[in-house]
Structures are given as C-alpha cells and as structure tokens.
Structure 1
C-alpha cells in the first residue's frame, strides 16, 4: 500500500465522524441560534470531530472492525456529547 493509499484509507475511516460533526454543528447554529451565538462553528465541529474520532477508535478496538451498528451508535454519542456539553456550559 502506498502512502497515498494509506492516507485515503485512514481518511475514509474517519469521514463519517467528520461529516456528522459538521452536520450537527450546522444544525446547532441554525436551531439554537441564541444559545450558540457565542460558539464558533469551527469550535463545535472540532469538539464533535474529536469525540467522533475517539468513538470510532473505541469501536474499532472493542469489535475489531468498522461498520457495526453499535459502532455507529457510539459514533453518534461521541459526536453529540461534546457539542451538547459546549452548548450547556455557555448557559
């Protein structure tokens, strides 16, 4: 496997975490405008991405492969919890 192939392999492993974090950050900025006014979109995305990447790695360690429904449930929690915490601390 070439270094470029390895890069794309790793990027595709974490793409669901990045995409879900971006969608949730955008939804937070639209739905909770007043509450999220002080939070930058990039900060919401960054914390959601970190939680999603960590959840993906935990699922990979626990179940030995990617793509299990329990792993995706863990991914949703991993993305949502940091963003929820950021939103609740600002109140």
Structure 2
C-alpha cells in the first residue's frame, strides 16, 4: 500500500468522528447550549478525539472498521461528551 492509499484510508477512518463532532458542536451552539469553559474549536477537538478512540476500539474489538455497532457507540460517546462539555446536567 502506497503512502497516498494509506492517507486515504486514514482520512476515511477519521471522517465519521469528524462529521459527528462538527454536527454536535454546531447543533449545541444553535440550540443555545452553554459553551462551558471551552470554545467551539476546542469542543470539536475533544469530541473528535473521543470519537477516534471509540472507532479505534471498535477496530481492535472486531478486527475491522465500519461496523454499525461501532458507529452507534460513536454517536453515544460523542453525544455524552458534548453534553458534559456543555454542562447539560445544569439544565
């Protein structure tokens, strides 16, 4: 596998985490959620990293990426992370 193919695979692996993080941060901002102590880019970065960890865990657990259960875990973990960053428990 050449370097361009490897880069393509890495970007395609990270794309779902980036998309979910971007949608969550934008929806939280538009929905009027409190931003907490982090700005939008830092929130995106934290949720993105949590998503990557979940995707990597799914890859290690099942030996391949793209499983629907991994994507469901990605959504739950990213939403929980965004909720905690937005201090959702405060109402």
Deviation of 1:81 (Å): 2.1
Residues 21 and 78, structure 2, Cα contact 8 Å, conserved in 1: yes
After superposition, the Cα gap between the structure-2 partners of 1:3 and 1:14, relative to the gap in structure 1 and judged at 3 Å, is same
Q: TM-score, normalised by structure 2?
A: 0.86
CA deviation vs aligned residue, 1:7-52 (integer Å, no higher than 9, x gap): 111110110000110011000011025x227541101111110110
**Residue 18 (structure 2) pairs with residue 18 (structure 1):** yes
Distance 1:12 1:72 in 2: 14
In structure 2, list runs of 5 or more residues that go unmatched.
none
Structure 1: 5+ residue stretches without partners: none
Separation (CA, whole Å) in 2 of partners of 1:31 and 1:81: 16
Contact 2:36 2:85 in 1 (8 A): no
SS at match of 1:36: coil
State how 1:22-33 maps to structure 2 within 5 Å: 22-33=22-33
Give the length in aligned residue pairs: 90
